[in-house]
């Protein structure tokens, strides 16, 4: 009886000790190169998730995903780039600038980072020239797949100081690369509007709305053009579409607040 009890106690002790042993580390047998790749993949996946949440306006979750990416790799420039965009939208300019600048220090030749940082800087009239420098830096990258975007951003940026000729030059360069690029086409219509070529702007915005997917930007420009021409019925029609399709947009908010003056 004593022997059986002793054997049972030994068996239980061994089982308890076995349960206390930590499971093997799944990465213990990986080579250093394989470990680096796994870390890079983890950072990339969570940054892509952050970008998806950002595009849907789910900023809190987007920030969490970007921070997970940076915990995996704190030198991953795309994660800082996404954080810069998020904080820019949240109007937390200090945090946006810190993240964009960190991304540029890590990846000084990254066209996407230069383009986004340029757009951030363009919000400040005193930094428009610096913003243009970043757009041009993006365009210099031979592997940048959408240089028309940076040319368009440069055009829209200088348009903020009513430099119509330079704005038109940048927008036309975008259209040489990508004919009918929507944002560049809309930018040229905005130049006509701001230059008070209202009939031309009206014709072109009507054609644009018939040819391209509707956006808050295009409807807002149509509203302002028709308002400048005194066409209240058209203003009401476009306004209804803006409120129905894009109720949470800044443009819809401006319409509700009656902000129809020229930009």
Q: Quick check: 89 pLDDT over 90?
A: yes
pLDDT at position 27:
59
Instruction: Give all domains of the chain, ordered by start, each with its CATH number.
Output: 180-263 (1.25.40.10)
Q: Quick check: 79 pLDDT over 90?
A: yes
Angstrom distance (rounded) from CA 11 to CA 14: 5
* Residues of the chain above pLDDT 70, percent: 85
Write the CB contacts of 136 (distance below 8 Å, at least 6 apart in sequence). 150, 154
pLDDT tens-digit series, residues 103-144: 999 999 999 999 999 999 999 999 999 999 999 999 999 999
Please name which of 100, 112, 115 lies closest in space to residue 151, comparing C-alpha atoms.
115
Average pLDDT value for residue range 29-56: 81
pLDDT at position 154:
98
pLDDT at position 35:
63
pLDDT tens-digit series, residues 180-220: 999 999 999 999 999 999 999 999 999 999 999 999 999 99
Q: What is the DSSP string of 100-134?
A: HHHHHHH-TT-HHHHHHHHHHHTTSGGGHHHHHHH
Average pLDDT value for residue range 59-76: 95
184 contacts 171 by C-beta, under 8 angstroms? yes
194 contacts 162 by C-beta, under 8 angstroms? yes
Tokens for 146, please give them: 């959408």
69 contacts 100 by C-beta, under 8 angstroms? no
pLDDT at position 33:
65
pLDDT tens-digit series, residues 152-170: 999 999 999 999 999 999 9
Predicted TM-score (pTM) of this structure: 0.82
Average pLDDT value for residue range 70-84: 95
pLDDT at position 30:
59
Please, what is the average pLDDT of the chain? 89
Q: Quick check: 244 pLDDT over 80?
A: yes
């Amino acid at each position: 009886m004593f022997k059986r009890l002793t054997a049972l106690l030994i068996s239980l002790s061994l089982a308890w000790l076995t349960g206390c042993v930590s499971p093997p580390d799944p990465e213990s047998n990986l080579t250093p190169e394989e470990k680096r790749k796994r870390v890079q993949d983890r950072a990339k996946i969570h940054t892509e998730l952050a970008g998806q949440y950002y595009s849907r306006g789910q900023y809190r979750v987007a920030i969490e995903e970007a921070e997970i990416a940076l915990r995996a790799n704190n030198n991953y420039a795309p994660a800082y780039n996404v954080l810069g965009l998020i904080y820019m939208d949240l109007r937390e300019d200090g945090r946006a600038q810190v993240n964009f600048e960190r991304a540029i220090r890590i990846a000084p030749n990254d066209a996407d980072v230069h383009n986004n940082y340029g757009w951030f800087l363009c919000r400040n009239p005193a930094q428009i020239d610096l913003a243009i420098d970043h757009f041009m830096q993006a365009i210099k990258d031979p592997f940048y797949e959408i240089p028309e975007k940076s040319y368009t951003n440069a055009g829209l940026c200088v348009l903020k100081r009513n430099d119509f000729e330079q704005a038109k030059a940048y927008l036309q360069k975008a259209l040489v690369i990508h004919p009918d690029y929507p944002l560049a086409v809309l930018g040229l219509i905005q130049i006509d509007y701001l230059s008070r070529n209202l009939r031309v702007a009206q014709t072109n915005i009507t054609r644009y709305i018939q040819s391209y997917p509707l956006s808050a930007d295009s409807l807002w420009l149509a509203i302002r053009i028709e308002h400048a021409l005194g066409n209240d019925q058209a203003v009401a029609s476009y306004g209804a579409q803006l409120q129905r399709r894009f109720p949470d947009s800044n443009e819809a908010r401006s319409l509700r607040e009656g902000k129809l003056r020229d930009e």
